[in-house]
Amino acid sequence: MKVALLPGDGVGPEVVHEAVRVLEALDLPGLTLLEGDVGGAAYRRHGHPLPPETLGVARAADAVLFGAVGDPGCDTLERHLRPEQAILGLRSELGLFANLRPAAMIPGLEAMSALRPEIAARIDLLIVRELNGDVYFGEKAIDVLPDGRRRGRDLMSYAEDEVRRIAHVAFRAAQGRRRRLCSVDKANVLETSQLWRDVVIEVAAEYPDVSLEHMYVDNAAMQLVRDPGRFDVIVTGNLFGDILSDQASMCVGSIGLLPSAALGERETEHGTFGLYEPIHGSAPDIAGQGIANPVAMILSAAMMLRHSLGAPEQAERVEKAVARTLADGVRARDLGGSAGTEDVGDAVIRRL
Ligand code: IPM
Ligand code: MG
């Protein structure tokens, strides 16, 4: 089992380090770790946020464990050299179109939610976010109009096959859960969303056991804080999924808690090739202080064990150890505690 480690920027290396310690504590037979530079760190060393060597390391692996990218010192670079291009490049180059972002309340953390505890207690949802299309990858430019005004534009588009394949992922995920799927779009205004909705309805015919509803994204944002417990699986496009998943994280309690998996169609010896990353960013304000919460990263490693490494029992062991750690009150600052990054890692390893 080959795992590529791409720690990246800011708190990325700190949290990846803890996830690696957890993986090593599991004593998986034949686990090999490879490493690559990515993001601002790669730009500084190689002049590019996603050097070909890094892409090569990722391709050669069964799974990628990705920390975070983002570096304020790089924000004035041309867009193609900015750190964020590394993760976008990996997602598209590796065909990772399906982003699974689970958000579930961890018992004992209800009071940390931005919502009332009795509402937060019911959260157990999965956001299935499309990852290879939408305004993220459409034609984009800042140009100058004939009258001299500057104009920015980003093309939103989805082809039907792109919608169909993510819809299948979402319907199958719903079959493994509470069999309810909510497709989020903005079909009252956007043609891209109208096509999205039409295709999701076509695909639904193959899943009569899953109940499907459609919701406009503005309403979805509202329902997510009004009654998040009403959601099982949400499927949506790249941009709406980006926004709603950050929102879901604060409903649970902290953006430092939520993991994610980016999957494509490539099968490996042990499972599906995937890239695993916390949904949080590089958090430059707290980088290097040893205080970042490594839970989202450790839970991302658990998702990797389940989806890419064929080790679901080990995934469950890690998830249970994390839940016990938090229930026992070992919490980093984002959760109102005083545990450092390594303290949380130590506590998880002790509970494995
Ligand atoms: C995420 C992040 C990325 C995204 C950024 C870093 C490009 O916000 O994974 O949610 O927008 O997809
Ligand atoms: Mg985001």
Query: Phi then psi for 279, rounded to 5 degrees?
Result: -80, -10
Residues 186, 182: Cα–Cα separation, whole Å? 13
Closest ligand 1 atom to residue 242 Cα is 10
Fold of 110-252: Isopropylmalate Dehydrogenase (3.40.718)
- Ligand 1 binding pocket includes 134 (Cβ within 6 Å): no
pLDDT grade for 10, boundaries at 50, 70 and 90: very high
Q: How far is the CA of 85 from the centre of ligand 1 (A)?
A: 10
Q: Which residue owns the Cα nearest ligand 1 atom 7? A: 84
pLDDT of residue 29: 92
Query: Phi then psi for 11, rounded to 5 degrees?
Result: -75, -5
pLDDT of residue 73: 94
**Spatial CB neighbours of 161, under 8 Å, sequence gap ≥ 6:** none
Proportion of the chain in helix, strand, coil states, percent, rounded to 5: 45, 20, 35
Average pLDDT over residues 307-330: 97
Alpha helices in the chain (DSSP H): 12-25, 40-46, 52-59, 84-93, 117-120, 160-175, 191-204, 217-226, 238-252, 295-307, 312-327, 341-351
CA neighbor of 9 nearest in space, from 93, 119, 84: 84
Cα–Cα distances (Å) from 130 to 114, 191, 218, in that order, read 26, 17, 18
Instruction: Report DSSP state, residue 80.
Output: G
Q: Provide CATH code, domain 1-105+261-352.
A: 3.40.718.10
pLDDT of residue 306: 97
Q: Based on the number of CB atoms within 10 Å of its own CB, is 243 exposed (0-12), middle (13-18) or buried (19 or more)?
A: middle
Strands 150-154 and 140-144: antiparallel
Q: Pull the structure tokens for residue 276.
A: 């695993």
Query: Is 198 labeled as catalytic in the residue annotation?
Result: no
* Contact predicate 134/238, CB 8 Å: yes
Query: Is 136 labeled as catalytic in the residue annotation?
Result: yes
pLDDT of residue 102: 97
Domain boundaries, the chain: 1-105+261-352, 110-252
- The residue annotated as part of the active site, out of 71, 134, 185, 242, is 242
**Spatial CB neighbours of 113, under 8 Å, sequence gap ≥ 6:** 105, 119, 120, 123, 250, 251, 252, 253
* Contact predicate 259/300, CB 8 Å: yes
pLDDT of residue 270: 92
Strand partners, 8: 68
pLDDT grade for 39, boundaries at 50, 70 and 90: very high
Q: Pull the structure tokens for residue 241.
A: 């999924």
The pLDDT tens digits of the residues spanning 59-90 come to 999 999 999 999 999 999 999 999 999 999 99
Strands 211-216 and 180-185: parallel
Would the CATH topology of 1-105+261-352 be identical to that of 110-252? yes
CA neighbor of 311 nearest in space, from 344, 269, 258, 260: 269
The pLDDT tens digits of the residues spanning 200-254 come to 999 999 999 999 999 999 999 999 999 999 999 999 999 999 999 999 999 999 9
Q: How far is the CA of 43 from the centre of ligand 1 (A)?
A: 18
Say which residue the tokens 């931005």 belong to.
Answer: 114
- Ligand 1 binding pocket includes 9 (Cβ within 6 Å): no
Q: Which residue owns the Cα nearest ligand 1 atom 8? A: 242
pTM, entire model: 0.96
pLDDT grade for 330, boundaries at 50, 70 and 90: very high
Q: Pull the structure tokens for residue 31.
A: 């686990």
**Spatial CB neighbours of 222, under 8 Å, sequence gap ≥ 6:** none
Chain-centroid distance, C-alpha 173: 16
pLDDT grade for 305, boundaries at 50, 70 and 90: very high
- Return the half-sphere exposure (C-beta side, CA atoms, 13 A cut-off) of residue 263: 24
Choose which residue among 38, 82, 87 to substitute to test ligand 1 binding: the one with the highest number of ligand atoms within 8 A of its C-beta. Answer: 87
